[in-house]
Amino acid sequence: MSVLKIQNLSKNFGKIQAVKNINFTVPENSVFGLIGRNGAGKTTTIRMLMNIYLPDEGEILFQGEKIDSTFKDKVGYLPEERGLYKKMKVIDTLLFFAEIKGIINQKVKRKAFEYLERFALTDRANSKIEDLSKGNQQKIQFISTILHNPEFIILDEPFSGLDPINTDLLKDIIIEMKKEGKIIILSTHLMDYAEKLCDNIAMINEGKIILNGNLKEIKQNFAKGRILLDTDSDLDFLKTSRFVEKIENFGNQFSIKLKNESEHQQFLLELLNNKVNITKFAANEISLHEIFIQLAENETDEVKNVK
Amino acid sequence: MLSNKIIGILKRELKDKLFAKSFIFMTLLIPGIFVISIGIQVLIYSSEDTDKHQIVIFSEVAGLEKHLQKSINSELKNDFQYVVDVREIPGTQFNKEFNSLKPLLLNNSISALIFIPKKAISDKHVSYYSRNPKNSQIHNRFSGIINQAIISFYFEGKNLSENDIQFAKENVRYDELKVSEDSIVESGIGAEVLSFLFIFLLYLSILFSGQMVLRAVVEEKNNRIVEILLSSVSSNELIVGKILGSAITSLAQMLIWLLPLIFILSSSWYLLPPELIVSVSAWQWLYYFVNFLIGLVTYLGLFAAVGSIFDNEQDAQSGMWPLMMLVMIPFFIAISVHNNPNNSIAVSTSMIPFTSIMVMPARMGLIDVPLHQFLISLTVNFITLILIFPITGKIYRIGILQTGKKPNFKEVLTWIKMKNL
């Protein structure tokens, strides 16, 4: 059952159409990836979800009801461009952000210290924000996003600026929150993270949704007739191969689209006959990254809804 | 009326402004600077001239010399700053005397040479020769001395008593009586001083806290904190919280400055010179405070809106000048109504938006303003506040999330017209 439904949403700024009639649904208990290039319309869409902007057309339904200003209290939002009051103490910052979400009590203070401990920041509770490193500020920002225990969490590029250990910690927390039944929207242009974390995605390009659906199904759909090949050999001979429709070169990895998706065995034979040194051969495989590039390059009005 | 969210924003603003070290510092520093600058002026004025001055007075009028001596003796009895040499000479000899003293005038051995010609008895015109003929200190001292001598000389032998002559020397003095609907009272300058104090404090508060709000808005926009704030509160809640925080801070600051004054006024009522006694009714006090708050909130809204248009402080400073004019013009009009609080400019500006906030209290300190004018002024200020707030709110709401290119005036106007934000 879908929890958040975006219907025919449009937003113009003067002559610029930032979001053009988009539709997607976010199912419950899932991580939803809102992906797209910089300036594609992700932030405007998120701002409409947050009721920061009012849409020119269309509506947003949460559990079947149109969202209003009370929706803000149910949401935790980590914007792409982070901002904290530099002169404020860490613990005051956390309590302030919880307070403007309508939560003032001792429990939230306890919870704040629990999160600080988890992120190894307990000893910095009374430090000023400006005295923290950028990575630590990032962690404080993340804690302030989830401290009020929101049902719905929007994370815009959450991993930027974090080291691998903290990235893993953040990923663990995101998975934990998903298990708790929260809905998470992850907005990113880093396809790798989206691919690892998301159950469903909507891809937005120039204000329009160009792909929407379950990630596994999308990949299956796009992977048909796709070969991922790792090799250091010269593949120039493939340009004239009768099996191959298109080759994309990523250095030591090639993505090859076959003319006929059932001919991958014959294609493998051709490679072996030509003494290609194969380190990896994966049939019917495609990365989200490739799907994204493919779609963004062949800009289309047609929305690929994968059910 | 105030949501918990506004209170949350307000609490942070107060913590940041009212309970900050800078507040205590500024609250003490501003009167300190004031006292020091006035002190320096007084010091310069009083120590302006402690040098000895040699003054030479030539009189062509036979018999004036003894009156001059008498006048000098009584006026400069305890003043050893001046050494005065009075000589009676025939008019024809003046040029020769002048030429012989000219080198001493030029090297400042003699500060001034005063020549009293015969006709001075009828027209009181005397010649004053000096390297610095504008020295008001010597001017003031000696014009009185010479005037008294001429008056004594003039009435000599006219069978008048010393008392009559003394009476003739006196100037006219006004007993100022202020006429109002229900009383005629001696007019003091207390109410006037108080009203100007309020206007001056309002002016200072608008400038200080206005710039503070503007800087804070630019900083929030620049730091991108605003995006997170807006994901929790509406832009209206945010702007209301911020403005209330600054207004309360300013009001607290003004009270801190005024309380000692009010205490002195009320506890030592009878010790004050009568002209300083303030006859201000409780209603008038209330009006001053209400007017202060309305004015402050109106202007702070505008400062916040201007701040939201720009994303760095330099641009914001350049965009602030129309607003500064809107603060300064009313202030200067309010100060200049002192000469005639009932002229047409004073009356009209005390009832039009923005100027009314400062000109009306200035007039009220000087005269009893007709009730209808007072009510018009109050209504105009309320309506201005009510009209200006949605507009500033709208500019703020759009401006605060705009980044990149600096918008021009036309674009800001289109923001105001936008329906769906």
Question: What would the DSSP string read from start to end of A6-56?
Answer: EEEEEEEETTEEEEEEEEEEEESSSEEEEEE-TTSSHHHHHHHHTTSS--S
CB A243 within 8 A of CB A258: yes
The shortest C-alpha distance from B409 to chain A (Å) reads 15
Cβ neighbour number for residue A249 with a 10 Å cutoff: 10
Does this complex have an ipTM over 0.95? no
Torsion angles phi and psi, residue A83, rounded to 5: -155, 130
CB–CB contact A72 B231 (8 Å)? yes
Question: Which residue of B5, B12, B220 is in closest CB contact with A102?
Answer: B5
Which amino acid is it at A281? F
CB–CB contact A52 B401 (8 Å)? yes
Sheet with B112-116: list strands edge to edge.
B82-88, B53-59, B112-116, B127-129
Q: What is the three-class DSSP state of B403? A: coil
CB B196 within 8 A of CB A36: no
What is the structure's pLDDT at B413? 75
Given the candidates 3.90.1150, 3.30.43, 3.40.50, 3.30.70, the CATH classification of the domain at B53-169 is 3.40.50
The shortest C-alpha distance from A92 to chain B (Å) reads 9
CB–CB contact A96 B227 (8 Å)? no
Q: What is the three-class DSSP state of A149? A: coil
What is the structure's pLDDT at A153? 92
CB B115 within 8 A of CB B126: yes
CB–CB contact B231 A77 (8 Å)? yes
The span from the CA of A160 to the CA of A82, in Å, is: 10
What is the structure's pLDDT at A298? 67
Residues 6+ apart with CB under 8 A from A227: A254, A255, A256, A257, A258, A264, A267, A281, A282, A283, A285
The span from the CA of A72 to the CA of A60, in Å, is: 13
CB–CB contact A82 B224 (8 Å)? yes
What is the structure's pLDDT at B181? 67
The span from the CA of B337 to the CA of B366, in Å, is: 9
The span from the CA of B294 to the CA of B384, in Å, is: 9
**How does pLDDT run along chain B (421 residues), one tens digit per residue?**
578 888 999 999 898 888 888 888 888 887 788 788 888 888 877 665 667 888 999 999 888 888 898 888 888 887 778 888 998 888 888 888 889 888 988 888 888 899 999 888 888 899 999 888 877 778 888 888 898 888 888 888 787 887 887 887 777 877 777 676 666 666 666 677 777 888 888 898 888 889 889 988 888 888 888 888 888 888 888 888 999 999 999 888 888 888 877 777 666 555 666 555 556 677 777 888 888 889 999 999 999 988 888 888 888 888 888 899 999 999 999 988 877 888 888 899 999 999 999 999 888 888 888 889 989 999 999 999 988 888 888 888 788 777 666 777 777 777 777 655 5
Which of B270, B286, B293, B288 is CA-nearest to residue B192?
B288
The span from the CA of B306 to the CA of B327, in Å, is: 14
**Residue B239, H or E segment:** helix B235-267
The span from the CA of A240 to the CA of A237, in Å, is: 6
Specify the length of chain A in residues.
307
For strands A183-188 and A31-36, give the pairing: parallel
Sheet with A278-283: list strands edge to edge.
A244-249, A253-258, A226-231, A278-283
Positions of E strands within B100-181: 112-116, 127-129, 177-179
CB–CB contact B227 A14 (8 Å)? no
With b for 16 or more beta-carbon neighbours within 10 A and e for fewer, the B25-50 pattern comes to ebbeeeeeeeeeeeeeeeeeeeeeee
Chain B residues whose CB is inside 8 A of the A77 CB are 227-228, 231
CA A141, A146, A148 angle in degrees (round to 5)? 115
The span from the CA of A9 to the CA of B43, in Å, is: 72
For residue B282, the Cα-to-chain-centroid distance in whole angstroms is 24
Chain B residues whose CB is inside 8 A of the A14 CB are 414
Sign of CA dihedral B103, B106, B110, B116: positive
Structure tokens at A82: 């982070």
CB–CB contact A96 B8 (8 Å)? yes
Residues 6+ apart with CB under 8 A from A173: A142, A146
Question: Which residue of B8, B228, B401 is in closest CB contact with A83?
Answer: B228
CB–CB contact A77 B220 (8 Å)? no
The span from the CA of B58 to the CA of A181, in Å, is: 107
Structure tokens at B257: 């400055």
C-alpha distances in Å from residue A212, one per residue of A25, A35, A202, A219, B121: 9, 10, 4, 11, 108
The span from the CA of B302 to the CA of B99, in Å, is: 68
Half-sphere exposure of B166 (CA within 13 A, CB side): 3
Q: What is the three-class DSSP state of A214? A: strand
CB–CB contact A82 B233 (8 Å)? no
- Mean pLDDT lowest for which of A48-52, A231-235, B402-406? B402-406
Which amino acid is it at A68? D
CB B227 within 8 A of CB B238: no
Nearest CA in chain B to A13: B421
B227 to chain A, any CB pair closer than 8 A? The answer is yes
Average pLDDT (A134-152) is 91
pLDDT in tens, A171-229: 899 989 988 888 999 988 778 888 889 999 999 988 899 889 999 898 888 888 888 88
Sign of CA dihedral A281, A282, A283, A287: negative
Residue B404 φ/ψ region, left for φ over 0, alpha for ψ in the -120 to 50 degree band, beta for the rest: left
CB–CB contact B232 A101 (8 Å)? yes
Residue A105 clears pLDDT 90, i.e. is over it: no
Number of A to B CB contacts under 8 A, please give it: 69
Q: What is the three-class DSSP state of A260? A: coil
CB–CB contact B16 A73 (8 Å)? no
Structure tokens at B247: 């207004």
What is the structure's pLDDT at B220? 87
The span from the CA of B81 to the CA of B78, in Å, is: 9
Residue linked to tokens 């090639």: A254
Chain B residues whose CB is inside 8 A of the A144 CB are 228
Which of B75, B49, B72 is CA-nearest to residue B132?
B49
Bridge partners for B55 per DSSP = B84, B112
CB B333 within 8 A of CB B358: yes
The span from the CA of B231 to the CA of A79, in Å, is: 9
The span from the CA of A291 to the CA of B409, in Å, is: 44
The span from the CA of B180 to the CA of B15, in Å, is: 46
For residue A106, the Cα-to-chain-centroid distance in whole angstroms is 34
Chain A residues whose CB is inside 8 A of the B15 CB are 92
What is the structure's pLDDT at A123? 94
CB–CB contact B12 A53 (8 Å)? no
CA B238, A26, A140 angle in degrees (round to 5)? 45
pLDDT in tens, A254-305: 888 888 888 888 999 999 999 899 999 988 888 888 888 878 776 554 555 6
Contact residues, chain A to chain B, C-beta under 8 Å: 14, 47, 50-56, 69, 72-73, 75, 77, 79, 81-88, 92, 96-97, 99-102, 104, 141, 144
Residue A104 clears pLDDT 90, i.e. is over it: no
The span from the CA of B225 to the CA of B230, in Å, is: 9
Residues 6+ apart with CB under 8 A from A114: none
Q: What is the three-class DSSP state of A5? A: strand
Question: Which domains, and CATH codes, for chain A?
Answer: 2-219 (3.40.50.300), 220-306 (3.30.70)
C-alpha distances in Å from residue B22, one per residue of B16, B69, B303: 9, 61, 21
C-alpha Rg value of chain A to the nearest Å: 23
B8 to chain A, any CB pair closer than 8 A? The answer is yes
C-alpha distances in Å from residue B161, one per residue of B67, B68, B167: 15, 19, 10
